[in-house]
């Protein structure tokens, strides 16, 4: 794997579980519990992919994604959410995935994003998942 992933989530349990799954899979993981912390990590470290929670205190994952794209326009960003419908501002991210998806779907989506950084977003037939296509 050897990729480095930045995970942003204000819920400590979800953040820790996600980070653990990614580390077990072979990724290096930076975990952030606030938008400010995530933006600082992105500025200070080489990050290959970002996973943002959508609902964050005082902001949204898509707003943070837009700020991240200003720093690193090429960085793939995946938005995770418990919401069923696509959130506003999704165009600032490369992919949207429901938190209801099992870890295998998250890992497969990460692998595809890392393999295809030029990916574009489209809505899948399922209303709660956006997949990537080249």
When pLDDT is averaged across residues 39-66 and rounded to a whole number, the result is 95
Least confident range from 15-24, 35-44, 83-92, 118-127: namely 118-127
User: 41 near 47, Cβ under 8 Å?
Assistant: yes
Separation of alpha carbons 133 and 70, rounded Å = 23
Each residue's pLDDT tens digit, 62-105? 999 999 999 999 999 999 988 767 767 778 899 989 888 999 99
Least confident range from 15-19, 42-46, 85-89: namely 85-89
pTM for this model (two decimals): 0.84
CATH of 4-133, one of 3.30.70.100, 3.40.50.2300, 3.40.50.720, 3.90.78.10: 3.40.50.2300
- Quote the distance between the C-alpha of residue 21 and its chain's center: 14
Domain coordinates in residue numbering, the chain: 4-133
The confidence band for 5, taking pLDDT boundaries of 50, 70 and 90, is very high
User: Which residues on neighbouring strands pair with residue 60, listed in sequence order?
Assistant: 55
Q: What pLDDT shows up at residue 29?
A: 98
Q: What pLDDT shows up at residue 119?
A: 43
Separation of alpha carbons 88 and 63, rounded Å = 9
Q: What pLDDT shows up at residue 87?
A: 66
Q: What pLDDT shows up at residue 90?
A: 79
Tell me the average pLDDT of the chain. Answer: 85
Q: Smallest Cα–Cα separation from 95: which of 116, 109, 82, 85?
A: 109
């Amino acid at each position: 794997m050897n990729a480095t992933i930045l995970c942003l989530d204000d819920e400590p349990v979800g953040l820790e579980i996600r980070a653990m799954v990614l580390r077990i899979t072979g990724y290096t993981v930076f975990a952030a519990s606030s938008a400010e912390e995530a933006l600082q990590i992105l500025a200070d470290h080489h990050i290959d992919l970002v996973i943002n929670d959508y609902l964050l205190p005082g902001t949204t994952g898509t707003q943070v994604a837009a700020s991240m794209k200003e720093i690193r326009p090429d960085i793939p960003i995946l938005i995770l959410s418990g919401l069923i419908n696509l959130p506003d501002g999704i165009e600032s991210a490369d992919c949207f995935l429901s938190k209801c998806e099992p870890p295998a779907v998250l890992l497969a989506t990460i692998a595809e994003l890392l393999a295809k950084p030029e990916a574009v977003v489209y809505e899948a037939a399922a209303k709660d998942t956006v997949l990537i296509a080249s």
